[in-house]
Amino acid sequence: MENWESYVRKVVPYVPGEQPQAERMIKLNTNENPYPPAPGVQRALAGFNPDTLRLYPEPTCKVLVDAIASYYGLGSDQVFVGVGSDDVLAMIFLTFFNSGKPVFFPDITYSFYDVWADMLRIPYETKALDDAFEIRVEDYYGENGGVIFPNPNAPTGILMPLDKIEDIIAHNRDVIVVVDEAYIDFGGVSALPLIEKYDNLLIVQTFSKSRSMAGMRIGYAMGNAKLIRYINDVKYSFNSYTMNRTALALGVEAIRDRAYFEETRKKIIETREWTKKELRALGFTFGDSMSNFIFASHERVPATELFEALRREHIYVRHFTKERINNYLRISIGTREEMETFIRFLKEYLKEA
Amino acid sequence: MENWESYVRKVVPYVPGEQPQAERMIKLNTNENPYPPAPGVQRALAGFNPDTLRLYPEPTCKVLVDAIASYYGLGSDQVFVGVGSDDVLAMIFLTFFNSGKPVFFPDITYSFYDVWADMLRIPYETKALDDAFEIRVEDYYGENGGVIFPNPNAPTGILMPLDKIEDIIAHNRDVIVVVDEAYIDFGGVSALPLIEKYDNLLIVQTFSKSRSMAGMRIGYAMGNAKLIRYINDVKYSFNSYTMNRTALALGVEAIRDRAYFEETRKKIIETREWTKKELRALGFTFGDSMSNFIFASHERVPATELFEALRREHIYVRHFTKERINNYLRISIGTREEMETFIRFLKEYLKEA
């Protein structure tokens, strides 16, 4: 080993979900939206002048921040945007989790929290979900350096009611509490109104799921102006120009169109409920997902076997090897047609299995 | 102050250069390229299917990494891409500068190095440039935690010859040496071939200047495969999907077109040399810039006065308040026509001043 290697920040890197490139596949493995972005995105793309790419983007991302603020009825000083919610969350870890005390999050949750903590040398403690995969609020009462959890939780899809969320925030006024609402638009109730009451609360959302813009990398945080300023200070010290000109121009159109948003999320919710019914009839069990995926286990056939069988048919779902959840599949909700093909295959397969 | 505020990572944020939005202005303040990106970028934009934005981008950025590797005759495992060279450099600081020993860089240099060091709690020592604003290689012989400098240096534009760079690398085999070549394409000689000889060398370049893509945010690092793997490990632990689909699709076209690149950089170099001649005749002094800007001081009229006078004419240049350089203006090279207008104004102004 060279001497310089001893100074390297050694990490166990996050392994992104497989991105298969097959021609005719059904991709239900990374919770993407089966519908294209709002029609305005296409118009913005068509009207985009490539010559402007020679110039830096506007560093405060004002057009996009304003569009998000206006959508939620917030002040523009209450919104921070980043390169996907991963960038937003990484900046939040870097900005706020510096107490030296452990940050608390669930044992089964978004698999990036411990990766960020490890990479940034932030101590953490995971709190076990109960047997129904629900968060026990009392677990978050102890002294800590911050709290973060998704709602609905990943990869379970289970929603926590607002009074429990408020209970966690109220018990943690000395630290920052982050509610990661990547999937909130698929049937959950956002904790956003609580930012007016609690100055230590940050809500994180993303354009990757309900806005059909995973490929554009746009995430955002909402909270009181002081919190947002602190994140911006760190962000400007990291990379002043993160959002490129296409992300700003197209992002504005992706959030502006309420009618398209309502139409597509309604379709996804309906397809999810139909899929739940079908899966239940086939012998699957699962929590009552309020996200754009279902986290399901079969009463008889192991998850790995189903995963491989589906894969052979070019139907991709996600399987995690982690203990407690290694007999589950996370199935993203595609179009109705895709889910019908998926169910049809399972029916056949389970008949023979 | 709330208790949570005591845990905030307090930083003195970098202040990005002014991005004025006036209609008819001459923008010579942030070293952008006056020419649009290569024609292939426009074609790629026109052919871009917005429906694909619903899907995550390919996380390894293979198409773009391959295009850059192919351009320089490297292996794809020798190239790392990020959201502008700022993202690349921030990842390098995070990955390699963990020894606890001070990182060395010049006192007058890219103003982000100390910002990253402060933000990431990395100790550093600046080494004073000599009176001709040149780096003294002996200053970099002492024990340190890493070395970084731009070549040509910013904001002076002064190029260091390759033998001096190799001298610095050879004296620092135990740490990572980063040569930040944002401006190398405007007349310098890249240290890139040295990566074959020195496994501790990283070369960082960008699409923002010579590739006319500041608005797209693409930077890259080149070095031996082991170094690149270490950066990627940290990057995947920070944000797996940084490069959005448009950056990947359009970036490939921006680097592919050698003829357009040669044509535009030749024009910029010619305009720079013409501008130097004119500025000299007007009583300006400056080092022999090999970048797309000139860092100049007038023999009689203070920089701040010239800055304000130009600004009133909607001609924007950059002025730094830092000691030793606060009587200089950094003037980006625009089109020949823009520089003629700029010189014409100065001629009139200096006649009267």
Domains of chain B, CATH where assigned: 21-36+259-352 (3.90.1150.10), 39-256 (3.40.640.10)
Rounded to whole angstroms, how far apart are CA atoms A12 and A24?
33
Distances (CA, A) of B188 to A280, B162, B167, B292: 67, 9, 17, 11
pLDDT at A119 > cutoff 90: yes
Please tell me the total number of residues recorded for chain B in this structure.
353
| Of the listed ranges A7-21, A173-187, A214-228, B38-52, the one predicted with least confidence | A7-21
Rg (alpha carbons) of chain B, rounded to whole number: 21
pLDDT of residue A352: 79
Q: Is A122 on the interface with B (CB under 8 A)?
A: no
Looking at beta carbons, which residues of chain B come within 8 Å of A229?
Answer: none
pLDDT of B128 over the 70 cut: yes
Average pLDDT of every residue of chain A: 96
Contact status of B38 with chain A (Cβ, < 8 Å): no
- Residue ranges of B 92-111 with Cβ closer than 8 A to chain A: 94-99
Report the pLDDT value the prediction gives residue B26, as an integer from 0 to 100: 96
Mean pLDDT of chain B: 96
Residue A106, preceding peptide bond in cis (omega within 30° of 0): no
pLDDT over 70 at B185, yes or no: yes
Distance CA B109, CA B154 (A): 5
Taking only the tens place, the pLDDT of each residue in A252-272 is: 999 999 999 999 999 999 999
Longest dimension (CA), chain A: 61
Report d(CA B153, CA B291) in Å as an integer: 9
Q: What is the CA radius of gyration of chain A?
A: 21
ipTM of the complex: 0.96
CA distances from A110 to A86, A118, B224 (A): 11, 14, 33
The secondary structure of residue A326, as a DSSP letter, is: T
Size of interface A-B (CB pairs under 8 A): 271
* B19 contacts in chain A (CB < 8 Å): 56, 58-59
pLDDT of residue B236: 94
Q: What is the mean pLDDT of residues B184-204?
A: 97
pLDDT at site B17: 66
Mean pLDDT computed over A92-121: 96
Residue A123 has a CB neighbour count (10 Å cut-off) of 14
Q: Does B14 score more than 80 pLDDT?
A: no
pLDDT tens-digit readout, B245-281? 999 999 999 999 999 999 999 999 999 999 999 999 9
Rounded to a whole number, what is the distance in Å from the CA of A236 to chain B's nearest CA?
A: 6
Q: Determine the average pLDDT of the residues in A29-35.
A: 97
- A208 chain-B contacts, CB cut-off 8 A: 56
Q: What is the mean pLDDT of residues A281-309?
A: 97
**Whether B26 contacts chain A with CB within 8 A:** no
* Candidate from B34, B98, B115 with C-beta closest to A9: B98
pLDDT at A56 over 70: yes
The answer on pLDDT for B232 being more than 70 is yes
Asked whether the predicted pLDDT for residue B57 surpasses 80, the reply is yes
From the list B13, B36, B217, which residue is nearest A236 (CB)? B13
Residue whose tokens read 């990106």: B37
- Please report the residues numbered 58 through 77 in chain B whose beta carbons come closer than 8 angstroms to any beta carbon of chain A: 58-59
pLDDT, position B4: 86
In the beta sheet, which residues pair with residue A251? none
Q: Which residues of A touch B242 (CB under 8 A)?
A: 83-84, 87, 217
